Amino acid sequence: MTDLVLPSRDDPVVASGSQALGGPAGTRVRTRPSRVIAVLLALTALVCGLGLLSKQPCRSTAWTSDNIYPDMCYSDIAFLYQLRGDFAHNGSPYAGSSDKALEYPVLTGAFMSAAAAVTGILAGGRDQIDRSRTFFDVTALMLVICALATTALLALTAGTRPWDAALFALSPGLLLAAFINWDLFAVALTAGFGLAWARRRPALAGVLLGLAVAAKFYPLVLLGPLFLLCLRSGQLRTFGRMFAAAVAAWLVVNVPVMILWPRGWAQFYLLSQNRGAGFGSPWYALQREGWGINDGHVLNVVSGGSFLALCLVIGALALFAPRRPRLWQLGFLVVAAFAMTNKVYSPQYVLWMVAIFPLARPRWRDLLLWQSAEAIYFVAIWWHLQGLTYPDMVVPEWTHTGATFLRIAATLYVCAMIIRDILHTEHDPVRAGGADDPAGGIFDQAPDRFGPSPGSTSRPADGSAADHDAVEHARGHTDVDVELAADSGHGDPVR
């Protein structure tokens, strides 16, 4: 069995922290993947438990207190149970009038309906406020299951690097945003797609991707990187099978609702088209500073055009990088581009990216820098909403505007690190030890039409050396590398 990559011997931040516990793990340490996953699941449960504890001030009053923003415990879950659909009577959330129809994709509506059905069994005879609290509890339990599933799926997808899933399990984003909305459901489905693709099961991967898109729109943008990488590796037929399965799964879920309740089904898409600049977006921040775009059509063009421009840059990188990029490097870049240019950025959107980060850039330093900015934004958005709700309270505009652009800058920093990894693969933690694309499924060790094939001894086009000694020199012989070299006779910490 291939040895697992140990964080204390691979990541400088973890290695430094391990000094208090005796230093990095020795070369004879052997850990079974099942035990790693068990530890990761325990850590995920702990973080989710702390996240639920942070919601307790609001839960205790069933979200009726005036302090939901100062206490930073707001959640859409209890509110939408009362305001959207006919959950209390187990009706379809898409059958009501336009002001009551649910503004979420169909599979998320089904997820909510399942929680509502359980709520009806547990608290059917109570008043609606009390039922909404029970609905939150049931939904939170379902979301914890989604978080646990995401952690396990990431660990399995990462192959010999299962500990990288701790970057999701212990992330501030999971702690702060897990129970604001239902995004973890789509995140878990997307992680399932990732594992199926890594295991070279394109039809199953397509089904899971189609279901993920039926739960939340953002996984759709992953199709672009998949297509370009299949083009570069000569795997377009496989892409076709995956895409056909994704379309079929999406149609199976959506068509019945489209036929029965067309207006309710269209609510999500109409809202996405017609909404103005929303909280957290650069367009909203500019608007608050007097530089906004007030015309909705123009805003759609600017927002969509900005995303398209970034996608063209990512597409050029996918096709013309000296070596074919790894799947989840491009996946993070395109999801981040969507999040940064979208007309709204809700705090829970960080979950989309933090569930990809472990496969894209498994480094604790970059995660902590980025997540610190996300945590600052998390505080700023609730201050901002408190100021809007109670105008007599003076909350400076710069807090929200500054936090918005700080968050975007931190996201761009992570993207820059990933782009550097793509162009100079000696910096890529995954490839530095000689791997190609372990989570890439059919891309792993596949021929490269536009660059050197994996295992080639030629020098990459960027001029960096491809042999082991040059990789070691580029990595700078960190303390982790030196210790490993002393223990095992060579300096490669990623095996």
DSSP string, 199-233: TT-HHHHHHHHHHHHHH-SGGGGGHHHHHHHHHHH
Mutual angle of helices 106-123 and 183-198, in 10-degree steps: 120
Full-model pTM: 0.89
Tens of pLDDT along 438-488? 999 999 999 998 878 776 543 433 333 333 333 333 333 333 433 333 333
434: left (phi over 0), alpha (psi -120 to 50) or beta: left
Q: Are 454 and 446 in contact, with CB atoms under 8 Å apart?
A: yes
Q: What is the pLDDT of residues 351-407, one digit of tens each?
A: 999 999 999 999 999 999 999 999 999 999 999 999 998 887 777 888 999 999 999
Task: Report the C-alpha gap between 83 and 168 in whole angstroms.
Answer: 32
On average, the pLDDT of the chain sits at 87
Distance CA 22, CA 433 (A): 25
Predicted local confidence at residue 481, as pLDDT: 39
Exposure string for 311-326, b = 16+ CB within 10 A, e = fewer: beebbebbbebbbbbb
Query: What integer is the mean pLDDT of 35-42?
Result: 96
Question: According to the model, what pLDDT value does residue 477 have?
Answer: 36
Q: For residue 266, give the 3-state DSSP assignment.
A: helix
The C-alpha R_g of the chain, in whole angstroms, comes to: 23
Q: How confident is the model at residue 185 (pLDDT cuts 50, 70, 90)?
A: very high
Alpha-carbon separation of residue 415 from 12, 91, 334, 437, 482 (angstroms)? 20, 43, 10, 18, 29
* CA-based nearest residue to 94, from 250, 262, 217, 212: 262
